[in-house]
Structure 1
């Protein structure tokens, strides 16, 4: 349905982005460049191709192990991605690492990509006080907003990162976009990310007036990417980051030589 809607919307007239809008835009690789078979989401093998392709930002998820270590994984267990029944919160990091070497610790991802890509870190759950202190310690060498943002579908999860400025908090909406839009208007957060089908021009204009950023997902075609940038969207979340980055680079080059 999303792909069909993209074709319909990009077939209609839309505002073409100018050079300034193209320069501001950032592609975000959602869980990396993966195929679901040989390259799994949220792994080094998925992030490396995105960063190598010049994609400026990667998005990934964080959960905590039984011994309070932050690991990069979306689901509560390893079944869907890795075909294993291990539950992250019930397993110590050493056991998870031995069972599935592709599962990265947050420290490994930060060490490899901090400074090379902007890090969009989605919090999937609260942790113990020790776990959340561990998260803060790992992020301490980085500069919030400049180097990373914290994302969450549930704004109460930001309460687990109170040592970080609210300006690095980016709520992510699904069908609850009206509620999170109201939350973003009343909190000193980074802005709002949500489905392109639900984000309205009024949402974008209102948040821009607060100097907040807008993220749109999940975009799959270069044409839809340009449409969203033309609407004032700065962050384009996608499962096809390398392809969209090539399209954005081409659009910038065309305007530069026009």
Structure 2
């Protein structure tokens, strides 16, 4: 997410708290909370940076329903879990880009970045995996085969979903059921819904502030699931639960669960 999107989401989390639907208290244990990049701790020298095993362990330990993670390919075609193309923001190594670095080199230089296989082995069937595809299968031909090979022990749409901001990124995964594919909107909500309908993908996710009740009704009437994010206030969680949302994506899963933790 770009900084402006994060800022607007924070503002929406405050403004939408005025909605009457926020007053009906939801049981967080009954909701399908998805920890966006894990239950990470922001900041320099974090003990649990985003998209790391430490951040995902915090979800497992506190019984969060699912985790969202980002997948990219190394130079030699290995799927690893990292959001940015390069490693400067999180690990102060802007000289290392995922696509231009062999996996063995990446593992030696930045062991915090997990291979997708490590994530599957550690959390498969324990946490629901929402796997964001960051690259196009049209440009990285190894992407589909590598990701599907790692996921072969899991059931699509039961144990995991694939999602992308670019619906065409999911079209390469033709062997998967459409129900396992989620198209994600930022501010282009209606455009993504149109593409979702055209491609027949099984779900739409987007901003809780932009997915209106009418749009949610339209999506569900087509037999599809709906996810909203980033829901970071308990009041907004109440609202989304009252609207019948299938998945709630959040940057603050432990807060929504009422966990008091000193990191």
Give the structure-2-normalised TM-score: 0.87
Q: Partner of 1:46: helix, strand, or coil? A: helix
Aligned equivalents of 1:15 and 1:98: distance in 2?
47
Instruction: Mark the CA change 1:204 to 1:16 in structure 2 (over 3 Å): closer, same or farther.
Output: farther
In structure 2, the partner of 1:144 is 156
Choose which of 235, 239, 250 in structure 2 pairs with 1:238.
Answer: 250
Aligned equivalents of 1:185 and 1:245: distance in 2?
34
Q: Partner of 1:181: helix, strand, or coil? A: helix
- Do 1:54 and 1:245's aligned partners in 2 also have CA atoms closer than 8 Å? no
- Do 2:16 and 2:209's aligned partners in 1 also have CA atoms closer than 8 Å? no
> Is 1:159 aligned with 2:168?
no
Choose which of 28, 35, 43 in structure 2 pairs with 1:29.
Answer: 35
Aligned equivalents of 1:129 and 1:4: distance in 2?
40
Give the structure-1-normalised TM-score: 0.89
| Cα RMSD (Å) | 2.0
Query: Which whole-Å deviations, capped at 9, do the CAs of 1:30-81 have from their partners, x for residues lacking one?
Result: 0012222312110001111112111010000000011110000111111111
Aligned equivalents of 1:8 and 1:51: distance in 2?
31
- Do 1:15 and 1:231's aligned partners in 2 also have CA atoms closer than 8 Å? no
- Do 1:16 and 1:230's aligned partners in 2 also have CA atoms closer than 8 Å? no
Aligned equivalents of 2:230 and 2:193: distance in 1?
18
Quote how far apart the aligned CAs of 1:143 are. 0.4
- Do 1:43 and 1:104's aligned partners in 2 also have CA atoms closer than 8 Å? yes
- Do 1:171 and 1:193's aligned partners in 2 also have CA atoms closer than 8 Å? yes
User: Number of matched residues?
Assistant: 246
**More helix per residue: 1 or 2?**
1
Choose which of 7, 21, 26 in structure 1 pairs with 2:14.
Answer: 7
In structure 2, the partner of 1:212 is 224
Quote how far apart the aligned CAs of 1:8 are. 2.7
Instruction: Mark the CA change 1:81 to 1:223 in structure 2 (over 3 Å): closer, same or farther.
Output: same
Q: Partner of 1:61: helix, strand, or coil? A: strand
Aligned equivalents of 1:41 and 1:197: distance in 2?
24
Choose which of 131, 135, 140 in structure 2 pairs with 1:125.
Answer: 135
Runs of 4+ in 1 over 4 A off after TM superposition: 15-19, 21-24
Q: Partner of 1:150: helix, strand, or coil? A: strand
- Structure 1: unaligned runs, 5 residues or longer: 248-258
In structure 2, the partner of 1:226 is 238
Choose which of 187, 201, 209 in structure 2 pairs with 1:175.
Answer: 187
